[in-house]
Amino acid sequence: MSTKITLIGAGSVVFAKNLLGDVLQFPELSDCTLCLMDIDPARLKVAEIMTTRMIAALGVKAKVVATLDQRAAIKGARYVFCTVQVGGYKPGTVIDFEIPRKYGLLQTIGDTLGVGGVFRALRTIPVMTSIARDIAEVGAPGCLLLNYTNPMAMNCTAVARATGIPHVGLCHSVQGTSQQLASYLGLPYGDITYQVAGINHMAFFLKFEYRGQDAYPLLFQLLDRPGFKLDRVRFEMMRRTGYFVTESSEHQSEYVPYFIHHGKKIIEQFQVPIDEYLRRCESIMATWQFTEAELLGHDGKIAVGPQTHEYGAFIVHSRETNTPRVIYGNVPNTGLIENLPNGVCVELPCLVDAQGIQPTHIGKLPPQLAALCQTNINVQTLTVEAALTGKREHIYHAVMLDPHTATVLTLDKIWAMCDDLIVEHQKHGLLGHFAPAISGTGRAYAGTGDRILAEVHPVAQKTSATGKLAAEIVLTNPRTKAFTANLTVDCVPLGQPTRSGHAIPLQVRIPAGKTVHKKISLTRSETSKEGFAIRLSSASPDVFTRDHIVHKRRILSAGGKDGAQFELKLAGFPAVEGSIGVQKKTIAIRLAVDDTKITPGMNPWEGSAVELFFAQGGEICQIFLVPQVGGRKVKVLSRHLKPVHAIRARIGPHPRGAGYEINAEFPFAAVCVNEAGKSFLFDVIVHLTALGDAHSGGRTSLSGQFESYMMSDLFAQVVMG
């Protein structure tokens, strides 16, 4: 029984002619059955006629079958070649270029990386995995998938993850570039040897030798040769990394952020042809009638050229005849390149014989090459994740990590561009369903990112000795549909899980995409030694609840000579040393703040500032101390941001390092404190721009609270006597 070799995407007739001609010219394969499959009946008919005439011209016994049915084409096949282009030039490729261009993102080829490569993969991977599943189910035992379809690495990674069938990705960039380099140097190709490894289109010549000698010095001489202006991008990357990359300068200019983004002058300097793939496609379509006539032959005669340098037919021949050969293939990384992740698709030398594809262990790439590869791998793996899981958020993630796109567009524009591309692809039936993501985010509705958020916000009020507390329940619904939340609100002592007996059931309907505020009044229970909590709970896993914790207030004895000392920390690091003392109807406060970059804000709480709270008898007084740039003056402002002249404040350098120290005196009358009282309530929030020499700023407070103040329990108690 003859070997069945299937070609899916046979409508790519120019490539199909070369591939099938290579197969038919091996005597051991000349009696095979060639099964041609395509979704375009007209193109498939051309391919069938062309193949029939090639068989006649070569005088071989091969048979040809044509079908529009993919599963029938694969059934019983020992080899399946894939050369599909999902979406074609129109609308697929045109969409990939036109929408990004509206956002200012220019591309040259756009088929293997970048936003064009991502969307080409998203519409191609479902087809690739369906082919792989058919191979697993109805292909001959050991059926090998030989993939020529781009984006190579993404497609092969998806096949490996989805099915794990035997497969190899094939590209002509290694053999083509090796011939180019020999030509640039005027060396006979038969005397050239090389070793290449990396990822598809970003593999590097680790060795390039002439008669066993390192020929790289000759390549570096070309950098300074007058009049040599070829392959400028690739030679520039060789200058910087030390190694020559396999794919063209057009491709390479898109894989790194050093060229297209930097404007017309750089584009012209490195001869980067923008929209080059569109031009090539249009040129091919313009000459299709001539090409078709040439493919079919005049008067039934057809010319079959010599075997090409494509690896496909040679792999089939080696496997069928046990003839050892070395080819360059794209295969899963199983420790073959040690400093690239396992499971990603890598390109490297492979031995082929009757045992199949046997990849070579390379070891470690030079670290700069591995790093460059990783920038592309990030995009590839996230695209495959999106395609296989249907999670829309990973489409955005893939594009935001693309080296070229990230140099051109802000995150908002990347999100908007992807949305436009998804809509346009789905309009033409090129993309299936993706689980929706929350608008403008990388969070999915299908996970925790769409849970209803329910929080307790205390309501501002004067301090009160009554047992009633006012609170506000704030519920946010990020979903696309309304949601009814069933909640329980209670006030319980900290450390005691039991309910108080005064719990309030609450049912709130939250419209889609809205936030609802619900005010309530509840009975306050006795506090424990630690304090109490306004506790919010829901039996539904769709609702995330957040309590409001009120810790027992601290007692500060301010009547002594040195007053009461306290310390504030930020992210676990000491940030503020403070003291508070009371003498002769005046409150003296010292704050040494480790803020190494005094920065003003439109409002005091947006830059460096100290925010002080005093309360006695129910009224709360809020004062701001705002250091000025240079650290020589400090503004004293009321809660309405008006100057307070009764309060004296001095600023100086931090006594033990960088930052500043404020000493301020507050007359009782200026902060609503009465000398008849034995104590008052106090809190301080300090806003820092930069903590020390290595940390960003933030807010720290004495009580641990940052909400608007409403209850005495949120303050420290300062004892005056």
Give the residue numbers marked as catalytic. 172
Residues constituting the chain: 721
Rg (CA), the chain: 36
Q: What DSSP letter does each residue of 590-623 carry, written as one string?
A: EEEE-BSS----SSGGGSSEEEEEEEETTEEEEE
Q: Residue 211's CB: how many other CB atoms inside 10 A?
A: 10
Q: What does the CA dihedral 96, 101, 107, 109 come to, rounded to 10 degrees?
A: 30
Strands (DSSP E) contained in 480-633 are 483-493, 504-510, 515-523, 531-537, 543-546, 548-551, 555-557, 564-570, 573-583, 586-593, 609-616, 619-627
Q: What does the CA dihedral 155, 158, 159, 161 come to, rounded to 10 degrees?
A: 160
CA neighbours closer than 13 Å in the CB half-sphere of residue 184: 24
Report CA-CA distances (Å) from 49 to 17, 44, 282, 541: 11, 9, 25, 62
170 in Cβ contact with 179 (< 8 Å): no
Strand order in the sheet with 548-551: 504-510, 483-493, 531-537, 548-551
Three-state DSSP state, 150: coil
Report CA-CA distances (Å) from 284 to 89, 237, 279, 280, 388: 11, 30, 9, 6, 33
- Look-up of token digits 């503020």: 576
Spatial distance between the Cα atoms of 349 and 370, rounded to a whole number of angstroms = 17
259, 556, 302: which is closest to 403 by C-alpha? 259
452 in Cβ contact with 476 (< 8 Å): yes
Q: Which two tokens stand for residue 131?
A: 């082919």
Sign of CA dihedral 604, 605, 607, 609: positive
The alpha helices in 366-472, defined as continuous H runs, are: 367-389, 393-400, 403-408, 411-427
Spatial distance between the Cα atoms of 55 and 49, rounded to a whole number of angstroms = 10
**Apex 382 CA angle, 380 and 385, nearest 5:** 110
Spatial distance between the Cα atoms of 493 and 499, rounded to a whole number of angstroms = 9
* Residue 27 burial (10 A CB sphere; 0-12, 13-18, 19+): exposed
Residues forming a β-bridge with 698: 688
352 in Cβ contact with 328 (< 8 Å): no
Q: Which two tokens stand for residue 315?
A: 């792999």
Q: Which two tokens stand for residue 593?
A: 């703040």
Spatial distance between the Cα atoms of 510 and 517, rounded to a whole number of angstroms = 10
E strand or H helix at 696, and its extent? strand 695-701
Q: Which two tokens stand for residue 402?
A: 């693309």
